[in-house]
Amino acid sequence: MQVLQVTARYYPELQFGGPPQKIHDLSRGLAKRGHGIQIVTLHSNRQRACQEVHEGIDVRYLPWIGTEKWQVPLGLPTLAAEVHRADVVHCYGLYNLLCPAAAYLANRRGCPIVLEPLGMYVPRTGHRRVKRLYHSLVTSRMATRAAKVIATSPTEFEELADLVETERLVLRRNGVDVEFFQHLPPGGAFRAKYGIADGEKMILYLGRISPIKNLEQLVQAFRQADFDRARLVLGGPMLEAGYARRLGALISDLDLANRVSLVGPLYGKAKLSALAAADLFVLPSLFESYGLAAAEAVAAGVPVLLTETCGLAMQIHERAGLAVPVGVSELSRGLQILLEDVEQRARLTCRRDELLVELSWEGPLSQTEELYACLVR
C-alpha cells in the first residue's frame, strides 16, 4: 500500500513538540510492515524545495512563502503528483494550508483521506476567534472530505463529535518507541552539567515552553511544596518569547532562580540523560490530546505526575504515577506524594510494566494499517 503522509511539521524538527516524532515513528513502523511511505511537508526556516531521507523515510519539502508561523505552500503540482501515486492520504493538524490543499487534491482524484487534528480542534489559547473562523472556512471542508477522522484520546473523540458524525470518528491512541528508552546513560553527567547534587531530588519537565503547558502553575506548586533539597528542570524550545519572559520573571519574583532551571531543548541523548537523572517527571498541561512526553517518561522508568486534562492521564494514574486536577495546590500535593512518600510512590507506580505493553506502537500500527486497508478496499 502506498501511503502519503501530509504534515506542516516533520521530524527532525522536534522544537514543535510531539507530533513530528509521532508521525515519524508511525511512518517508520508502517514502512517496516512493507508499506510505501512518502512524507510531504514544509521546513520551518528553509523555503526552497528539496528531498531528504530521515531514517529510511523519504521526505519531500515543498517551497513556501510567508512567515515561520504562517506558511503558504507552493509547488502544488508536486503535491498533486504525490497524491496521484497514493492509495490513501493521511493529513495531520489543522492550522496550516498544506493539509487542506492535499485533501482537495485527494478528493478530486477519489483517493480516501484520513484527517488527524492532533488535538487542535478546540481553540484553547491565543486568537480563539480567528481559529473558530478558520474552522468554519477550512476545517469543516476538510472534515467533509475525510473518510475517517482520528482522535487520540476519549476527550478528543468527544470534542470531534461536533465536527463529524461519530461513524466517521476513530479512536486510536499514539505510541512510544519503548525500546529507545530502555537503555539510559548514567544521569550523573546531566546533574554535573547543571550543578545538581547527587542527594538533590530532580523534577523534570520536557516540552514546549508555552502557555498551554501551564508551567507557571508548576513553578508556583514547586514553591508551595517547599522541598528542602530539590531542583525543577524545565527543558524545551522557547518559541513564544513573551511567555518565556513571563515565566522567567515569575521564577525571579518567587526567588527560585537557584532552584528552577530553564535549560532549553533536550533531544536524543540529551533527553535520555535528563530522564536518567530525574526522580520525577511532570506534565502539568491545560490540555494534551495524548501526552507523548509522559509516555516516554514511563518507558524510561521515571514516575510521572500529570494533570487530568492530558489524554494519557487515566492510563498512567495509579499504574506509573499520579493524575491530578489542574491547580497549584493539586500539583503541589502531587509533587509531595511522589517525591517524599516512598510507600505511596511504590503503590502508584507498581503497574508500570503492565502499562508499557499498552504504550508500545504495535497496537496503533495494526489499527492504522487495518484502517487504511479498509478504506482502500
Predicted pLDDT of residue 220: 98
Intra-chain end-to-end CA distance of the chain, in Å: 11
d(CA 178, CA 334): 25
Characterise 325 by phi-psi region: left (phi > 0), alpha (psi -120 to 50), beta (else). beta
State the DSSP string of 244-280. HHHHHHHHHHTT-TTTEEEEE---HHHHHHHHHH-SE
Which percentage of the chain shows pLDDT scores above 70?
A: 100
Predicted pLDDT of residue 374: 96
Model pLDDT for residues 345-358, shown as the tens digit of each residue = 999 999 999 999 89
* Radius of gyration (C-alpha) of the chain in whole angstroms: 21
Model pLDDT for residues 103-113, shown as the tens digit of each residue = 999 999 999 99
Predicted pLDDT of residue 321: 98
For the chain, the average pLDDT equals: 95
> Which of 315-341 are b and which e, b meaning 16 or more Cβ less than 10 Å from the residue's Cβ?
bbbebbbbbbebebebbbbbbbbbbee
Model pLDDT for residues 110-169, shown as the tens digit of each residue = 999 999 999 999 988 778 888 899 999 999 999 999 999 999 989 899 999 999 999 999
Predicted pLDDT of residue 69: 74
Model pLDDT for residues 36-63, shown as the tens digit of each residue = 999 999 999 889 999 999 999 999 999 9
Q: Specify the amino acid at residue 222.
A: F
d(CA 213, CA 206): 10
Q: Please name each of the domains of the chain with its CATH number.
A: 2-175+361-376 (3.40.50.2000), 178-359 (3.40.50.2000)
Residue 17 reports pLDDT greater than 90: no
Range name among 85-89, 175-179, 294-298 with the lowest pLDDT average: 175-179
Give the number of other CB atoms < 10 A from CB of residue 354.
10
Cell of 137: 472556512
d(CA 200, CA 204): 13
State the DSSP string of 101-159. HHHHHHHHHT--EEEE-TT-SS--SS-HHHHHHHIIIIIHHHHHH-SEEEESSHHHHHH
Cell of 298: 514511563
Q: How confident is the model at residue 232 (pLDDT cuts 50, 70, 90)?
A: very high
Which percentage of the chain shows pLDDT scores above 90?
A: 89
Question: Crossing angle, helix 215-225 and helix 328-340, to 10 degrees?
Answer: 60
Residue 170 reports pLDDT greater than 80: yes
Q: Record the pTM.
A: 0.88
